[in-house]
Amino acid sequence: MPSCATCGRPRTAAGTTCLYCGAPLPPAPGPAGLPAAAPAGSPPQAAGDRRLLLLGLAGVSEDALARALGRPPYEAALLVRRGGWHLHRILEVGAADAEARRLRAFGLDALLVPEPEARVRPLRTLGGERGEGQLVLRTEEGPVTVRRGELLLVVRGPIAREFQTPARRRRVETARPHEGYRVHLHRREDLRPVEIDTGSVELGFAITASARMEVDAWVEEIAGDAPRDDGFRRLAPALSLAEPEPKGALAAVRALGLASRDAAGRDDRAVVFDNVEQFRFYSGWRAAVERRRPGLSPPAPRL
């Protein structure tokens, strides 16, 4: 079955965009009862006009879930066993409201989140160090201090990478990119998560022997009772073109090491693909869910 190139989920219905992540899809037939495909040549739906439809799976009946989603009982059982929250679809506002009402009629917990809230650009960290109950970080936009008790949620997960090498080098290319690791620190008073890439962050005084171990120690220093979400590791990687690293000292050293030209003067470096955007989207909607817990109110969006 064809899958979305962005989120990796199987395509199960007609439409011009993936029902899970909103990425463009080629036309394809699907079952009735879902939004019809947009006419050829029509403009894409603006992200601000769409809603993420999320399902809470805690305490859900497998039979009710199977009937509501039209899934085989085995698939419904796997979802219920996984628990937590599940991204069901991305729809325009009217269709999202109608689908949420339909799912609630089956006894399911359906939550609607504006799409832009799940696609907030993170604040990338260049470096930093931990102190007693706080992190002092250098980011692309200046210094940021994150203190214990300020976190709403921690999302972390592995980053898959692949090289696309020029055709003239493919016969001799043997190196493979290392797996990455990202952490998002979602603060209560800011929609923008602080993003830490263990492959590029410049550590100050560090007790541990590796960047990943040190960043995990950072999390434990300040997280307190904030939930830690590691669910991203269960998703099939959906790769896209990697963005340049933050402009820190480590990135500059790596850029020098990667510089490569062939005999004709052409850039001979491999192109890197990763699933960072997939991670950011997952992290964004998970934080949106967490902000809607009883007693919490989302900060004023700066989108």
Q: What is the DSSP string of 85-117?
A: EEEEEEEEHHHHHHHHHHHHHTT-EEEEEEHHH
Percent of the chain with pLDDT over 90: 63
Listed residue (262, 92, 283) closest to 192, CA to CA: 283
Q: How confident is the model at residue 177 (pLDDT cuts 50, 70, 90)?
A: confident
Q: What is the pLDDT of residues 78-133, one digit of tens each?
A: 999 999 999 999 999 999 999 999 999 999 999 999 999 999 999 999 999 999 99
pTM greater than 0.85 (yes/no):
no
- Are 53 and 91 spatial neighbours (Cβ–Cβ below 8 Å)? yes
Alpha-carbon distance of 74 to 47, in angstroms, equals 33
Alpha-carbon distance of 173 to 208, in angstroms, equals 33
Domains, in order of start, for the chain: 47-118 (3.30.1390.10), 123-291 (no CATH)
